[in-house]
């Protein structure tokens, strides 16, 4: 049986760019490790460089760019490309991780939110904004990942960072759930955007689903699943 990765007919040592449709529950490093292991076994490589160009959270799905061999030198360039996401956000409750990784810690009213006022507040986030990354993120604090400290119950203080939202479209509005198409810069946390939207609407909100659909000109429709 020939896998899709074999059909690509790449010289992985010289360098290749693989578009992967990351599944729910996988970490980005899980994907990298699986591909590295497969290539070493399939092509008898003693050693091969493999890296991803932009982390996707375990609970997120969608496009992940993976580089092999000499193409790993271009990872920074891929990371700087704009990203497109489809985000599902639920209003009326918050979680410590800003998504479904952790349990709801507080509930809020949301019946006062009207579609017109939601639109007005939503579009205020388009442009350059400052956002505080989630405590449950890969940001480093004192040399350790923030999510590791948070899971240990240790106090974590993250400074706000400047990011840019290029465009937001409402795909579905059925309060307390909305689906948004978001185009943004490197470093944007959609979980933080969900949290901030909740506060802007004098309620609370968290991310319940996230799919990355595009990185620069690279499209999710052209990606292969890791099982393939």
pLDDT one digit per residue (tens) for the chain, 228 residues: 345 555 454 689 989 999 999 999 999 999 999 999 999 999 999 999 999 999 999 999 999 999 999 999 999 999 999 999 999 999 999 999 999 999 999 999 999 999 999 999 999 999 999 999 888 777 777 778 877 777 777 777 788 999 999 999 999 999 999 999 999 999 999 999 999 999 999 999 999 999 999 999 999 999 999 888
Same fold, 4-80+216-225 and 83-215: yes
For tokens 């307390």, what's the residue? 176
Based on the number of CB atoms within 10 Å of its own CB, is 227 exposed (0-12), middle (13-18) or buried (19 or more)? exposed
Structure token digits, residue 27 = 């970490």
User: pLDDT at position 137, please?
Assistant: 74
- The catalytic residue among 57, 103, 196, 227 is 57
Residues 78, 129, 91, 57: what is their CA dihedral angle, to the nearest 10 degrees? 20
User: pLDDT at position 8, please?
Assistant: 52
Q: Which CATH class is domain 83-215?
A: alpha beta
Answer whether 208's CB lies under 8 Å from 104's CB.
no
User: pLDDT at position 10, please?
Assistant: 66
Residue 85: beta bridge partners?
182, 212
User: pLDDT at position 154, please?
Assistant: 76
Is 57 considered catalytic here? yes
**The CATH number of the domain covering residues in 4-80+216-225:** 3.30.2350.10
Phi first, then psi, for residue 183 (nearest 5°) are -115, 125
What are the sequence ranges of the domains in the chain? 4-80+216-225, 83-215
Structure token digits, residue 137 = 């993120």
């Amino acid at each position: 049986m020939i896998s899709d990765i074999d059909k690509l007919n790449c010289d992985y040592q010289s360098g290749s760019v693989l578009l992967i449709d990351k599944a729910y529950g996988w970490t980005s490093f899980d994907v990298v490790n699986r591909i590295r292991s497969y290539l070493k076994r399939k092509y008898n490589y003693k050693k091969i460089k493999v890296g991803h160009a932009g982390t996707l959270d375990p609970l997120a799905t969608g496009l992940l760019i993976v580089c092999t061999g000499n193409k790993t030198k271009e990872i920074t360039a891929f990371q700087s490309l704009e990203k497109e996401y489809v985000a599902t956000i639920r209003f009326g409750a918050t979680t410590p991780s800003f998504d479904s990784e952790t349990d709801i810690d507080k509930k809020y009213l949301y019946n006062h939110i009207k579609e017109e006022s939601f639109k007005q507040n939503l579009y205020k986030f388009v442009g350059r904004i400052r956002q505080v990354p989630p405590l449950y993120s890969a940001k480093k604090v004192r040399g350790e990942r923030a999510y590791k400290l948070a899971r240990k119950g240790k106090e974590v203080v993250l400074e706000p960072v400047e990011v840019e939202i290029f465009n937001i479209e409402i795909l579905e509005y059925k309060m307390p759930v909305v689906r948004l198409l978001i185009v943004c810069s490197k470093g944007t946390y959609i979980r933080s955007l969900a949290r901030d939207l909740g506060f802007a609407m004098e309620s609370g909100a968290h991310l319940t689903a996230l799919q990355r659909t595009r990185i620069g000109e690279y499209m999710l429709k052209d990606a292969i699943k890791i099982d393939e």
